[in-house]
Homo-oligomer: A and B are copies of this chain.
């Protein structure tokens, strides 16, 4: 169902490289965050018309591609378990830290979950003498389990 969005993602990666743009550049154009902009271009988010407009302009997309950016995707094309080592490391974090997240969030908030929908994320480079680090900051709204 996502063929159009996936194909557009591949095309955007090529244009972005050819134009020497960074995700931050594209994001700045639409005043959104780089992570969300990247996820949108990779076909995992849906844009509002003005976002699609801005991205189409900076990347030189046609009208149909602009509309494709606004479509709501069937999310989750990522194979599981991930075969790519970079992505696998995040899967491994779930394996190793899953129970800790559960215990700590319940301790602090009670029964419920951290939303993956009302959710945002940032990704930064953290300079470090022993080797720079990838820093990821995320926040998701706590949703209490309804008792009814």
Contact = CB atoms under 8 A, between A and B. Distances in A.
Interface residues of A, number: 92
Q: Report the copy number of this chain in the oligomer.
A: 10
A123 B148 CA distance: 13
Contacts of A45: 111, 145, 147
A62 B115 CA distance: 35
A108 B137 CA distance: 16
10 contacts: A38-B100, A42-B103, A76-B92, A81-B81, A89-B115, A90-B101, A108-B123, A115-B143, A119-B146, A134-B142
Given A89-B115, A118-B146, 13 more contacts: A76-B95, A76-B96, A80-B94, A81-B81, A88-B88, A89-B116, A90-B116, A112-B117, A117-B144, A120-B148, A131-B142, A131-B143, A134-B140
